[in-house]
Amino acid sequence: MGEIMMLKALFRSAAVVVILSAPAFAADMPLKAPKNVSGLYNWTGFYVGIHGGYAWGDGTTENVTGSTNFPVGLVRDQNPSGPFAGGQIGANYQFGQWVLGVEADLAASGIEDDRAQASTVNTNVVSHTHTKFPWIGTVTGRLGFAMNNILFYGKGGGVWAGHEASAFTTNGATVNNQSSGSETLSGWTAGGGIEIGLHPNISVRAEYDHYDFGTTTVNRTVFFSTGAGGVNVGDVNVRRVKDTMDLFKIGLNYRFFAQ
């Protein structure tokens, strides 16, 4: 009876055929059904999926080296935000109502921030900065509690992100001191969510995550300058950046059952 119930779940569109000819099909099925014969949803297996969402961040950039108008120790705030979308791959193992898992994901993003700040020394001089996170990836472990086809879970692990920044200063209509640079930031992540099984192979999820990239020292190379403020072409401006980020994402997974 349990075997027939599993066949019905996998082939709902052919339920009548399955019920009438289950003995013949059972021996010839190319893929095994879930090992769970209780009729409950089975979370065990490998899966691939897609996800998307929106992120908002909070960060600062501090001058380690400075210029006449923007001295050492000057701190600039930044609040990058924007959408992201990507994919994930992972695996779960269910024992009782508990589910252990591991997952890796990677997303392209439009998370960015534009900022203008007047010099503390000369208010006629304004620094314009652009910060962008073109991609974000994580590797995390998961622990969940299943209530049939509803899974509540927490997760934690490591996060990496591409980080790009550019800047220039203006003094009235004069543009100078243009600089840029890029690096990969790393940190930790923690979060949680809810996943709902719509079909033995298909589930949807909603998730909240927090990323903390800590503090990183970065270089910004000047590629254009009028020579004002003690900055020249080829100079390297050293900055200390600190970023955190919060994300809300939704996702869709397709699960391959363990054999």
Model confidence over 161-190: pLDDT tens digits?
A: 999 999 999 988 888 889 999 999 999 999
77 contacts 59 by C-beta, under 8 angstroms: yes
Distance CA 216, CA 61 (A): 10
Residue 38 confidence class, pLDDT cut points 50, 70, 90: low
Q: Comparing C-alpha atoms, which of 64, 54, 235 is closest to residue 133?
A: 54
Distance CA 14, CA 23 (A): 15
Distance CA 92, CA 44 (A): 5
In this predicted model, what pLDDT tens digit does every residue of 52-64 receive, in sequence order?
999 999 999 999 9
Neighbours of 174 (CB within 10 A): 11
220: Cα within 13 Å, side-chain hemisphere: 28
241 contacts 60 by C-beta, under 8 angstroms: yes
Residue of 9 and 106 predicted with greater confidence: 106
DSSP category for residue 2: H
- Residue 54 CA from chain centroid, whole number: 10
Residue 228 confidence class, pLDDT cut points 50, 70, 90: low
**Integer angstrom CA distances of residue 127 from 30, 120, 166, 181:** 64, 11, 10, 16
Tokens of 19: 């019920």
pLDDT the model gives residue 173? 84
Mean pLDDT of 39-65: 95
For residue 3, pLDDT over 50 is answered with no
Residue at token pair 């990677």: 106
For residue 6, pLDDT over 70 is answered with no
DSSP category for residue 229: G
Residue of 121 and 137 predicted with greater confidence: 137
Mean pLDDT of 141-163: 98
pLDDT the model gives residue 227? 72
- Helix, strand and coil content of the chain, in percent to the nearest 5, comes to 10, 65, 20
The pTM for the full model equals 0.82
Its sign, for the CA torsion 216, 78, 181, 229, is: negative
Distance CA 92, CA 99 (A): 6
Residue 253 confidence class, pLDDT cut points 50, 70, 90: very high
Tokens of 105: 């994901």
Residue at token pair 């006449």: 68
Q: What is the mean pLDDT of the chain?
A: 86
For residue 73, pLDDT over 80 is answered with yes
> Per mean pLDDT, which range of 27-31, 52-56, 70-74 is the poorest?
27-31
For residue 258, pLDDT over 90 is answered with no
For residue 48, the one-letter residue type is V
DSSP category for residue 13: G
**Integer angstrom CA distances of residue 198 from 5, 54, 192, 259:** 16, 24, 20, 21
pLDDT the model gives residue 4? 36
Mean pLDDT of 2-11: 37
Distance CA 101, CA 45 (A): 9
Pick 43-256's CATH classification: 3.40.50.720, 2.40.160.20, 2.60.120.480, 2.120.10.70. Answer: 2.40.160.20
pLDDT the model gives residue 7? 34
Domain residue extents for the chain: 1-33, 43-256
Of 15-19, 70-74, 130-134, which has the strongest mean pLDDT? 130-134
Residue at token pair 């010839």: 28
In this predicted model, what pLDDT tens digit does every residue of 91-105 receive, in sequence order?
999 999 999 999 999
DSSP category for residue 226: -
